[in-house]
Amino acid sequence: MAGLARRDFEKFVKDIYRGGAGLAASTVNDRMVMVAAIMEAAVVDKRITENPARGIRVSRRAVLAVDEDEVPTPAEVDLIAAHIAPKFRLTVYLQSGTGQRPSEALAFSTECRRPGSVRIRWQVSAKAHQEHCKTPFLPLKHQLEKECRDVPTALFIEQEIDAHLLKWKPMPVVFTGQKGRRIRLETFFAPHQPGVGVMPSISSYGHQFKGACLAAGLVDLDGNAKYTPRSLRHFFASTALANGVPIHEVSRWLGHRSVKTTVDIYGHLLPSAWGRCREVLQHAMRPASPSATSLPPEEASWSAGNRAA
Instruction: Name the pTM for this structure.
Output: 0.72
Selection from 21, 80, 16, 29 nearest residue 203 by Cα: 21
**How many other C-beta atoms can be found within 10 angstroms of the C-beta atom of residue 71?**
22
Q: How high is the mean pLDDT in each 10-residue block of the chain (309 residues)?
A: 88 76 73 89 90 82 70 96 95 96 93 94 82 79 84 95 94 82 88 58 88 96 93 94 91 90 84 79 82 50 46
* pLDDT given at position 23: 67
Selection from 136, 162, 140 nearest residue 151 by Cα: 140
* pLDDT given at position 292: 47
* pLDDT given at position 267: 84
| CB distance 101 to 233 below 8 Å | yes
Q: How far is CA 4 from the centre of its chain?
A: 32
What value does the CA radius of gyration of the chain take, rounded to a whole number of Å?
23
* pLDDT given at position 107: 92
